[in-house]
Amino acid sequence: MDETHETLDSALESVDRAEELALTKAQSLGLDEDELVQFGMAVRECMVNAVVHGNRYSQDKKVHLDIERSPDRIAVTIRDEGSGFDPDSLPDPLAPENLMRQSGRGLLLTRTFVDELSVNSRPGSGTEVRLVKNRAGA
């Protein structure tokens, strides 16, 4: 098991850093180019949520990134220090009345592009998101 932990600032540069790191680690899983791009986007979307919606760009708050890679899968955990939210309260971005909203599609894309997604958040505490992508063909 290969493990990486980084504590990142609440800045857009951290989004790029996390995506790049996750993609580097995912290279050995035999994913094709489209799958790699999609996995990188999933990480990116969750990092954006942590930086923008969770920590609200606060310099006093960090984003904690953990990447665990085994021969069969890669798991990325992203935790912010924000105020949390109720995941069930998010509007459905595919509902006709929400189609033209400017935001709210990040988790939809993430869920589509990974094999497992868990979101642990409660109002008043931070949010932790865990993404898992399996080796190609697994």
Partner 1 sequence: MSAKLTTRQVGDVAVIDAAGRITLGEGASSFRETIRDIVNKGNKKVLLNLSDVSYIDSSGIGEMVSGFTTVTNSGGQLKLVGLSKRVKDLLQITKLYTVFEVFDDEAEAVRSFT
Residues making contact with partner 1 (CB under 8 A): 12, 15, 34, 37, 41, 44-45, 48, 52, 93-94, 99-103, 105-106, 108-109, 112
Looking at the Cβ atoms of 109 and 117, the one nearer to partner 1 is: 109
d(CA 20, CA 103): 23
Looking at the Cβ atoms of 2 and 92, the one nearer to partner 1 is: 92
- Radius of gyration (C-alpha) of the chain in whole angstroms: 15
CB 106 within 8 A of CB 54: no
CB 49, min distance to partner 1, A: 10
Strands 2-9 vs 73-79: parallel, antiparallel or unpaired: unpaired
CB 2, min distance to partner 1, A: 26
CB 55 within 8 A of CB 80: yes
CB 39, min distance to partner 1, A: 13
